[in-house]
Amino acid sequence: MDINRIITLDEFIIRQQNEFAGATGELTGLLRDIGVAAKIVNREVNRAGLVNILGIEGTENQSGDVVQKLDLYANEKLIECLKNSGECCAIASEEIENFIELPGIHDKPAKYVVLFDPLDGSSNIDVNVSVGTIFSIFRRKSDFTGPSNIGDFLQTGLEQVAAGYVIYGTSTILVYTTGHGVNGFTLDPSIGEFCLSHRNIQIPKRGQYYSVNQGYYLKFDLEMRRYIDHCSDLNLGLRYIGSMVSDVHRILFQGGIFLYPSTRKYPNGKLRLLYECNPMAFIVEQAGGKAINNHLNRILEIDPKELHQRSTIAIGSPDMVDEMKAFVERYSAVTS
Ligand code: AHM
Ligand code: MG
């Protein structure tokens, strides 16, 4: 086979499916439909400067953040594509208070639920900085013949069957895992296809950057301040975009650590466990990295209690996350 041949996302997903005996193609269909939604959202993100859908919508989402118009558009498109897919029985979105049941197609019971953050980092939209879409897929736990329930969504991150993100950056890249490594696909706008561009992504053990909103330094706990001082002592560079997808994407390729610790405003962290932390943790772990919270618990093992639960997070290169863990252990022992 010609190794330079273009492999599209659709072809790659189908090939992966063929490697698993008993795979029915349902997850394949679902991933493909998310790919379609990503293309539609991408088109709109790119056109955003041209049409009047920019700007703050004026409402607040479930978590109290200001919602911008493009978030709502991305939210609608994802729901639409997942509805048409017929493989998803219910969805939960960072932009919606409760989960939504989706009607089945031809009375076929759907096995999966999908959770997503339709447009993460939305405060960046107005200034033309990269944003992203994050998704997480679970097999439903409830009886396939009845309606889905909250228990289908409140599963630990370990139970994710797939997770991914799309970064709308200088190019648009979709990165996903089904628990067998991580692969990245770059959208070729000339043919309208995501093409395999980053095979079996491995995160470096360490990196030259740390990523945290250092403006909140004085609001962080002592152990976190000490760790940040340590990063600075090591002459690590600080990179913080304010768009988790973009910050973690860089770390996935170049190594480093991303932190969103507790602050006075967000004592449990700002980021959402189900829409942001779990899917990113699954991807990063699959690439050889680590993800823990401030209590040093593995993100993927946290038992969620509610849909919009927040979590602190330290995610990235394995050696750097271990080092952060050691700082927290040392300095919290000093204060306790
Ligand atoms: P959003 O989902 O409302 O866009 O918020 C999540 C974003 C993350 O992408 C980013 O890492 C973080 O919020 C930035 O928050 P802050 O401005 O407090 O540093
Ligand atoms: Mg978000």
Would residue 1 count as lying in a domain?
no
Within-domain flag for 237: yes
Give the residue whose CA is nearest to atom 17 of ligand 1.
242
What does the alpha-carbon distance between residue 199 and residue 189 come to, in Å, rounded to a whole number? 20
The 8 Å CB, 24+ separation contacts for 95-102 are 95/61, 95/62, 95/67, 95/71, 96/62, 97/62, 97/308, 98/307, 99/148, 99/150, 99/152, 99/153, 99/307, 101/147, 101/148
Q: Are residues 184 and 222 in the same domain?
A: no
Note whether 268 and 294 are within 8 A (CB): no
Residue 229 sits in the same domain as residue 188: no
pTM of the model: 0.93
4 within some domain? no
**Number of folded domains in the chain?**
2
Shared domain check, 17 and 140: yes
61: left (phi over 0), alpha (psi -120 to 50) or beta: beta
CB of 75 closer than 6 angstroms to any ligand 1 atom: no
CA of 95 to the centre of ligand 1 (A): 14
Per-residue model confidence (pLDDT) at position 126: 76
Assign residue 303 the CATH number of its domain: 3.40.190.80
Angle at 92 between CA 89 and CA 96, to 5 degrees: 135
Q: Say yes or no: 98 and 188 in one domain.
A: yes
- Res 332 pLDDT > 90: no
Ligand 1 atom at minimal distance to the Cα of residue 131: 9
The answer to whether residues 194 and 257 belong to one domain is: no
Assess whether 182 and 217 both reside in one domain: no
Q: Which helix (H) or strand (E) holds 140?
A: none
Residue 258 alpha carbon, nearest atom of ligand 1:
11
- Half-sphere exposure of residue 241: CA atoms within 13 angstroms, side-chain side: 24
Nearest CA to ligand 1 atom 11: 244
**Is the Cβ–Cβ distance between 290 and 257 less than 8 Å?**
no
| Within-domain flag for 2 | no
In a domain, 204, yes or no: no
Domain boundary among 152, 178, 198: 198
Over residues 302-330, the mean pLDDT reads 97
Say if residue 181 is in the same domain as residue 235.
no
Which among 26, 276, 285, 323 is annotated as catalytic?
276
CATH code of the domain covering residue 66: 3.30.540.10
Tens digits of residue pLDDT in 12-69? 988 887 776 656 667 888 999 999 999 999 998 887 665 555 555 666 666 666 655 7
Claim to verify: residue 142 and residue 278 sit in the same structural domain: no
* Span 123-174, pLDDT tens digits: 888 788 899 999 999 999 998 878 899 999 999 999 999 999 999 988 999 9
Catalytic residue of the set 71, 87, 152, 193: 71
| Boundary of a domain, candidates 198, 218, 253 | 198
Per-residue model confidence (pLDDT) at position 238:
97
Q: Which residues have C-beta within 8 Å of that of residue 206, sequence separation ≥ 6?
A: 255, 317, 319, 320
Q: Is the CB of 293 under 6 A from ligand 1?
A: no
Which of 198, 224, 255 is at the close of a domain? Answer: 198
What whole-number distance in Å separates Cα of residue 123 and Cα of residue 61?
A: 13
CB atoms within 10 A of CB 64: 7
117 annotated active-site: yes
Return the amino acid letter for 199.
R
Q: Taking residues 161-189, report their average pLDDT.
A: 95
Each residue's pLDDT tens digit, 105-129: 767 778 999 999 999 998 888 788 8
Which structural domain range is residue 259 located in?
209-331
183 with 219, same domain: the answer is no
What is the token pair recorded at 300? 């993927």
User: How far is residue 54's CA from residue 103's CA, in Å, rounded to a whole number?
Assistant: 31
Query: Ligand 1 atom 2: the closest Cα is on which residue?
Result: 120
DSSP classification of residue 65: P
188 lines ligand 1 (CB under 6 A): no
Q: How far apart are CA 122 and CA 120, in angstroms?
A: 5
Question: 141 and 22 in one domain?
Answer: yes
- Burial code of 88-97, b = ≥16 C-beta within 10 A, e = fewer? bbbbbbbbbe
- Which residues, at least 6 apart from 278, have a Cβ–Cβ distance to it below 8 Å? 136, 157, 160, 163, 299, 300
Q: Which of 46-50, 128-132, 175-179, 197-201 has the lowest mean pLDDT?
A: 46-50
Residue 203 within any structural domain of the chain: no
Q: Which numbered atom of ligand 1 lies nearest the CA of 124?
A: 4
For residue 94, indicate whether it is catalytic: yes
Q: What percent of the chain has pLDDT above 70?
A: 90
- By DSSP bridging, strand 160-168 and strand 131-139 are antiparallel
For residue 52, the tally of other CB atoms under 10 A from its CB is 7
For 76-93, how does the pLDDT look when each residue is reduced to its tens digit (9 = 90+)? Answer: 999 999 998 888 999 999
pLDDT in tens, 278-313: 999 999 999 999 999 999 999 999 999 999 999 999
Assign 1 a pLDDT band (cuts: 50, 70, 90). Answer: very low
The alpha carbon of 5 and the centre of ligand 2 are apart by a number of angstroms equal to 35
Based on the fold, state whether residues 194 and 214 are members of the same structural domain: no
